[in-house]
Amino acid sequence: MLFETPYYLIDETKLVKNLEKIKAVRKSCGAKSVLALKCFSTWSVFELMHQYMDGTTSSSRYEARLGYEKFGKEVHAYSVAFSREDITKLKEYASKIIFNSVSQLQTFYSQVSHLDVGLRLNPQISYSNFDLADPARKYSRLGVTDYQSAFEMVDLINGVMFHYNCENEDFDNFSTLLDGISDTYRDLLFQLDWISLGGGIYFTLDDYPLDKFSNKLKEFSEYFDIQVYLEPGEAAITNSTSLITTVLDIVHNKIDIAIVNSSIEAHMLDLLTYQESAKIKGTSLGKYRYMIAGKSCLAGDIFGDFHFNSPLKVGDNIQIADAGGYTMVKMNWFNGLKMPSIIVKRLNGCYDVVKTFGYQDFKNNLG
């Protein structure tokens, strides 16, 4: 297998491992799952994901349209704020439209009353290791915090959305937070058809107690006689994708620094945003230490500090693991760096080059 680096490699076999767990939850407790396109929008694998999931959820008009055109099934359309043009277009392809505020619900309700209408609520409790991504952070604009104003809208809405988790792999914490929502919003929930618990719940991890999770959702759904939705993004595609790069140079400044033909600024922006280190396959507690760095001019374009069992050399491939979520959706042309191609390893073992980028893509991006 020889492809020009850098490229993202999506392995459908690894993807199915997550999708089977999503399907198992659906079968066990009836909770539906819609793919969060803000995390992953690479539609070349939607035909496979369509077989396991119930649709898509979006954060913008374009994402909603992509879900409608390329995924099908249910199309949940949410935005922090809709414009009038958004609403006009969304009516063509959304099955659910979820408003972020009471004011937007009241403004646009007459235009979308024929759809399934929802309202995002902010329970002011959350799980997040990052203030930047915490939906319940101080002065959060994400969802309605005033219970009474939300309850007064009950005749206009069919359901509500809570998105209060971020990379939550702690089932006990999830269970406690859900109990809090049950207690606080009890009277409202009894009058609704559906509830979305949002994304950020890492229920597809290997050691996650999937049976307990399913039972908890089933108890909740049956108690309120309500349809539960989950919005997995990272959970749907975790560990399915790698970013393959090549070492271009090795320099020394107190430590050895291997420069690869990629960049966190351009190709894995979340590493920079949240100041996290990449996961690199083939690293260990070996004696050969290297800082893996990107080729952009950004001084902090660093994938992390790693130890290898043998020395690196120019031309070696560096495989960055778990590189599917919030990467391809955030790619950019910083420094005019070549964007990674997108390659899919299909279930039959064949490799499918589904997208390449060249100079004309860069040229046409801003003019």
CATH number at residue 96: 3.20.20.10
Same domain, 245 and 200: no
CA separation for the pair 321, 343 (Å, rounded) = 15
Same structural domain for residues 160 and 42?
Answer: yes
Last residue of a domain, one of 180, 209, 237: 237
Q: Is residue 5 part of a domain?
A: no
For 168-192, what is the mean pLDDT?
Answer: 96
DSSP string, 221-272: HHHHT-EEEE--SHHHHTTSEEEEEEEEEEEEESEEEEEES--HHHH-HHHH
Please, are residues 224 and 183 in contact by the beta-carbon 8 Å criterion?
no
207 occurs within a structural domain: yes
First to last CA, the chain: 36
Residue 283's pLDDT band (boundaries 50, 70, 90)?
A: confident
Do 92 and 118 reside in the same domain of the chain?
yes
Asked whether 266 and 298 are in contact (CB, 8 A), the reply is: no
* Residue 143 located in a structural domain: yes
Do 217 and 245 sit in the same domain of this protein? no
Together in a domain, 86 and 225: yes
Are 303 and 353 found together in one domain?
Answer: yes
Q: Given this model, what pLDDT does residue 1 score?
A: 63
CA dihedral 150, 155, 158, 160 (to 10 degrees): 0
Same domain for 88 and 203, yes or no, is yes
| pLDDT beyond 80 at 282 | no
What pLDDT is recorded for position 322? 95
Q: Is residue 75 part of a domain?
A: yes
pLDDT in tens, 121-141: 999 999 999 999 999 999 999
Q: Which residues pair with 276 in a beta bridge?
A: none
Domain annotation covers residue 249: yes
3-class DSSP assignment, residue 20: helix
| Contact predicate 40/233, CB 8 Å | yes
Domain ranges, residue 271 = 240-365
Examine the domain organization and report whether 70 and 145 are in the same domain.
yes
**Residues 128, 268 within the same domain:** no
Q: Are residues 230 and 263 both part of a single domain? A: no
What confidence category does residue 360 fall into, taking pLDDT thresholds of 50, 70 and 90? very high
In a domain, 1, yes or no: no
Indicate if 198 and 249 belong to the same structural domain: no
Task: Determine how many CB atoms are found less than 10 A away from the CB of residue 310.
Answer: 10
Q: What is the pLDDT of residues 301-328, one digit of tens each?
A: 999 999 999 999 999 999 999 999 999 9
Of 198, 222, 237, the residue that ends a domain is 237
The structure's pTM equals 0.95
- Percent of all residues in the chain with a pLDDT value above 90, rounded to a whole number: 96
Q: What is the CATH number of the domain that holds 270?
A: 2.40.37.10
pLDDT at 361: 96
**Mean pLDDT, residues 4-14:** 98
Last residue of a domain, one of 208, 237, 266: 237
Number of domains in the chain: 2
Q: Would residue 109 count as lying in a domain?
A: yes
Residues 244, 233 share a domain? no
- Tell whether 3 is covered by a domain: no
